[in-house]
């Protein structure tokens, strides 16, 4: 067994190129117990990061409004609001939130125990006012401010903050109890190491991790069927389906870091999932710098993969989709109306055509297009790829497919959330190349579904659109899609969006 160099890090390329036999990443078929457990977790949960992030904004608004309200109370609502007062109140509110953040007052543990953190909150709030007073004194502006006004705001603001946190404490405890706010985790690998890890995680106070089960390829002799009260629900191949149904947030690999070969074999199967993957460093003899670890309570973890486009990134991307989808619908509405009329006049049948495709997390979604084929020759499963001069395509269909006008209804898919504007293009669930499904052609193909699919994508503007008549084209499209996932940013989305109409002028591969 090879010893792993402490300076080395697992990378996506290392997992992809690991020279173990390629395995199909499709679901392995769960047993009844695993399926029953997975069904209990179908509902999405609230991210603790999102909860604390929203609280930051609420507290800033609460402090700002309370400060202005105190000012209006003393000065009068219809009197002129001095710019220095409004600016000072806003700056003080912002500084308070920043200092609360720096002192870990927005950690879930702190939010669940507001009384225990009363002193810290008071110290930070008083420190904020001290810095404000020092700044005013340094700038020789202190005489311009009313001590009564800011003294009142100090008391009112602190009472509001403590009151809000008392309410949030009750809500967070209720959400944790009801399973609405938690990070769902699965232990990969059983035996004594898994038991030690589970006991360590369970000892953490106010822990938001819910362990949903254990998966291990080893038999019951080497890996007991029950570890620390948690059942072994199946093999690693079965974990793929379980994680998707149960909406698992994190996989914790409970194997020694020195077992490099075994760890890479596991990651080769698991990296296609849209989850955080952590390698437990609890029992490792190798020691890294503290910054190399993330922690679940006091349990050290090595970060192998992070879920892409998560938490606030997902909020920003969703806002991006809504804004630009509405713009797209408005701008292209005359084109869509003219296309609908042309389709109706050209051939019998509905204007729109919907198709089952794989979406985020490998879920099946309905994607809408303008109908481009004769109704009696349509292929909803896309088992037969459209080729040049395909007799199934109507006259209007040839034009709208070549110009990609048939894709315009997908602005509505993006607006309502089943698609994103930019992302890997969703393929039909039965799409094939030489009688092989796409996931049988490309190992790790389902990693494309770690993010929401898009109306346009990085592969499409780089020429990989249209007929996928060779295995190499499918591999290249997948490579471009994975590059997009690994390098996502809003600026990257904006670049792809604005390059799309230019690149669509090249209609060589569009039939």
What is the DSSP secondary-structure string of 196-218? HHHHHHHTSTT--EEEEEEE-SS
- 46 contacts: CB under 8 Å, gap ≥ 6: 175, 180, 181
> For residue 369, what are the β-bridge partners?
353
Between CA 206 and CA 112 the distance in angstroms is: 8
Residue whose entry in the numeric block shows the structure tokens 């049988």? 440
Of 229, 270, 230, 223, the C-alpha closest to 251 is 270
In 81-146, alpha helices (H): 83-102, 108-112, 118-138
- In three-state secondary structure terms, 430 is coil
**Which run of H or E residues covers position 420?**
strand 420-422
Q: Is the pTM of this model over 0.85?
A: no
- 104 contacts: CB under 8 Å, gap ≥ 6: 110
The 3 state secondary structure assigned to 253-277 is: ECCCCCCHHHHHHHHHHHCCCCCEE
Strands of the sheet containing 226-227, edge to edge, are: 226-227, 230-234, 209-215, 183-188, 250-253, 276-280, 299-305, 293-296
Residue count of the chain? 511
pLDDT tens-place values along the chain, 511 residues long: 343 333 333 444 544 444 444 344 444 467 878 888 888 776 777 778 888 889 999 999 999 999 989 888 877 655 555 667 788 889 999 999 999 999 989 988 889 889 999 999 999 999 999 998 888 777 766 666 677 888 899 999 999 999 999 999 999 888 877 777 888 889 988 778 788 888 888 877 667 788 888 898 877 777 788 888 888 888 888 888 888 888 888 898 887 666 667 778 788 788 888 888 888 775 555 555 555 567 776 677 888 888 888 878 888 999 999 999 999 999 999 999 999 999 999 888 899 988 888 888 878 888 999 988 888 777 666 666 676 777 888 888 888 888 888 899 999 999 999 999 999 988 777 665 544 566 655 666 778 888 899 999 998 888 877 666 677 778 888 888 889 998 999 999 999 999 998 877 665 655 4
Between CA 186 and CA 194 the distance in angstroms is: 11
Residue 252, token pair as written in the block = 């914790």
Between CA 14 and CA 44 the distance in angstroms is: 31
Between CA 376 and CA 506 the distance in angstroms is: 30
Cβ(266)–Cβ(293) below 8 Å: no
Angle between helices 147-178 and 118-138 (to 10 degrees): 150
Between CA 356 and CA 381 the distance in angstroms is: 7
Residue 472, token pair as written in the block = 């190499």
Between CA 178 and CA 109 the distance in angstroms is: 17
Q: What are the Cα distances from residue 211, in Å, to 217, 277, 400?
A: 18, 14, 50
CA pseudo-torsion sign 90, 94, 100, 103: negative
Residue whose entry in the numeric block shows the structure tokens 């002799």? 221
Between CA 230 and CA 92 the distance in angstroms is: 49
> For residue 280, what are the β-bridge partners?
301
> For residue 183, what are the β-bridge partners?
209
Residue 115, token pair as written in the block = 């009384």
Residue whose entry in the numeric block shows the structure tokens 């600026």? 491
């Amino acid at each position: 067994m090879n010893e792993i160099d402490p300076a080395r890090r697992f990378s996506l390329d290392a997992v992809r190129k690991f020279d173990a036999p390629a395995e199909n990443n499709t679901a392995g078929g769960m047993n009844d117990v695993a399926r029953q457990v997975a069904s209990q977790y179908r509902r999405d949960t609230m991210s603790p990061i999102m909860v604390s992030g929203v609280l930051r904004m609420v507290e800033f608004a609460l402090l700002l409004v309370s400060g202005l309200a105190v000012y209006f109370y003393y000065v009068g609502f219809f009197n002129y609001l001095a710019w220095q007062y409004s600016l000072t109140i806003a700056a003080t509110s912002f500084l308070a939130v920043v200092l609360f953040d720096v002192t870990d007052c927005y950690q879930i543990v702190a939010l669940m125990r507001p009384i225990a953190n009363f002193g810290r909150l008071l110290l930070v709030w008083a420190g904020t006012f001290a810095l404000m007073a020092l700044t005013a004194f340094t700038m020789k502006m202190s005489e311009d401010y009313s001590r009564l006004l800011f003294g009142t705001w100090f008391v009112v603001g602190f009472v509001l903050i403590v009151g809000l946190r008392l309410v949030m404490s009750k809500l967070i405890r209720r959400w944790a109890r009801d399973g609405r706010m938690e990070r769902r985790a699965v232990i990969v690998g059983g035996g004594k190491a898994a038991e030690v890890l589970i006991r360590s995680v369970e000892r953490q106070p106010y822990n938001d991790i819910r362990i949903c089960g254990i998966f291990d390829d080893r038999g019951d002799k080497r890996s007991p069927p029950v570890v620390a009260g948690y059942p072994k629900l199946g093999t690693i191949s079965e974990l793929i389906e379980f994680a998707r149904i149960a909406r698992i947030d994190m996989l914790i690999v409970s194997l020694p870091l020195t077992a490099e070969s075994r760890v890479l074999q596991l990651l080769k199967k698991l990296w296609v999932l849209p989850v955080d993957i952590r390698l437990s460093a609890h029992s490792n003899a190798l020691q890294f710098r503290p910054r190399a670890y993330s922690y679940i309570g006091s349990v050290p973890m090595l970060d192998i993969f992070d879920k892409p486009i998560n938490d606030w990134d997902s909020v920003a991307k969703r806002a991006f989709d809504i804004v630009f989808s509405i713009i797209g619908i408005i701008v292209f509405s005359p084109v869509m109306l003219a296309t609908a009329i042309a389709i109706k006049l050209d051939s019998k049948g509905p204007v729109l055509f919907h198709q089952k495709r794989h979406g985020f997390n490998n879920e099946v979604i309905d994607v809408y297009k303008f109908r481009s084929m004769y109704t009696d020759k349509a292929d909803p499963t896309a088992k037969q790829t459209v080729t040049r001069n395909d007799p199934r395509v109507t006259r209007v269909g040839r034009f709208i497919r070549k110009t990609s006008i048939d894709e315009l209804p997908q602005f509505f898919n993006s607006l309502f959330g089943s698609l994103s504007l930019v992302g890997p293009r969703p393929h039909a669930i039965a799409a094939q190349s030489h009688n092989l499904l796409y996931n049988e052609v490309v190992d790790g193909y389902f990693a494309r579904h770690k993010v929401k699919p898009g109306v346009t994508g990085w592969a499409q503007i780089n020429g990989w659109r249209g007929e996928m008549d060779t295995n190499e084209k499918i591999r290249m499209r997948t490579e471009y899609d994975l590059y997009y996932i690994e390098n996502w940013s809003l600026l990257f989305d904006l670049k792809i969006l604005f390059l799309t109409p230019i690149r669509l002028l090249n209609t060589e591969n569009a039939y």
